[in-house]
Amino acid sequence: MLVIPVIDIKNGHSVRMVEGLEDKTVYYSESPLTMARLFRKENAKVIHITDLDGAVSGKRKNYELIKEITESVDVPIQLGGGIRTYEIARQLIKELGVYRIVIGTSAIDNVELVQRLVADFGSSKVVIGVDVRNGYAVKDGWSNQTNIKGIDFALGMKSLGIERIIYQDVARVGSLQGPDFEGTKQIAAETGLKVTAAGGISSYSDLKKMQELEPYGVDSVMMSRALYENKFPCQAIWREQEKIDTSLELPKVK
């Protein structure tokens, strides 16, 4: 089970929007770049970045910061948040060099965009974010609920050639109350897609329980708050070391 650390960026800071609500935003770090380097030192194989400003406005307010991160860590970067035009998607893939992009709102509002991206860059470069509340897809930075069921949305994306989705119940995001196991299992089983689970994972037991869903196609999880708050014992060792070694030099990759 691949664990993907998440860095949510808002106004240049690392944050966590608890339950997807603006008034519950938690600030964790002044420097998303420092967090990316730390996650890499903690042996992250992939890092996910969400541009929360982009998700709401569709503008690339944090582009230069994200570029600095991609150039500073030696693992693939997955990026989501406000990718609403072909030009932006192409820039992120070709110029910024992100491993893959995550499309959410645009996949709901602009099916033709998804078709074009898959045709031009391949399904491995495009992931669909299936964010739900009460079983229905939400968009615009989780602020607007649609009348489209999450499973129906995922099946529609599959028909366009999409092979992977990120599934999360936004009411669980940042809550540390456990992910939506049943919803994750259902959408994986009914769609046959590869699924990355997110939202609410709080402990090693959550990871073990999620691992039981691997036969259904759930092969990875995205985590944020639990990592920031050292909910896993091995992290404490690294965090203590950071107090001594502030250079944050990356290990050499053989």
**Residue 146 to residues 95, 151, 203, 222: CA-CA distances in angstroms?**
33, 13, 31, 24
Residues 39, 69 contacting (CB under 8 angstroms): no
| 206 part of the active site | no
SS3 of 174-238: CCCCCCCHHHHHHHHHHHCCEEEEECCCCCHHHHHHHHCCHHHCEEEEEECHHHHCCCCHHHHHH
Given the residues 51, 131, 180, 206, the one annotated as active site = 131
Contact 196, 46 (CB under 8 A): no
Neighbours of 246 (CB within 10 A): 7
Which of 8, 51, 53, 180 is an active site residue?
8
Please say if 8 is a catalytic residue: yes
Residues designated catalytic? 8, 131
